[in-house]
Amino acid sequence: MFVETLVMVLLLSMTFISLARAIMGPSVLDRLIAINVIATKVTTLIVLVAFVLNQEMFIDVAMVYALLGFIMSVGVTKFVFRGGLGND
């Protein structure tokens, strides 16, 4: 139980470091990468909580969250670099 707690604290601290990069990032690309890293770390935290609590349902939640994070990354990237989300 101690190892899982330590890993959760480390992942949470890395998430907050990425949040700082997303806020202070000098470029849009830095912010996009930081948001993608945050989504990945939160997905990993959800899977770790599912493992600790022995709840298989949280794995489904983590998969949906990862899919939403991917779709968000693609959508924001397309919006930033092409200027819109239409079928150009």
pLDDT in tens, 59-68: 999 999 999 9
Q: Hey, where are the domains in the chain?
A: 2-82
Residue among 78, 76, 4 nearest 34 (CA): 76
| Tokens (6 digits) for 48 | 């770790």
Q: Is there a contact between 3 and 30 (Cβ–Cβ < 8 Å)? A: no
pLDDT in tens, 15-47: 999 999 999 988 888 888 999 999 999 999 999
Q: Please name the residue ranges forming H helices in 1-88.
A: 2-24, 28-53, 57-82
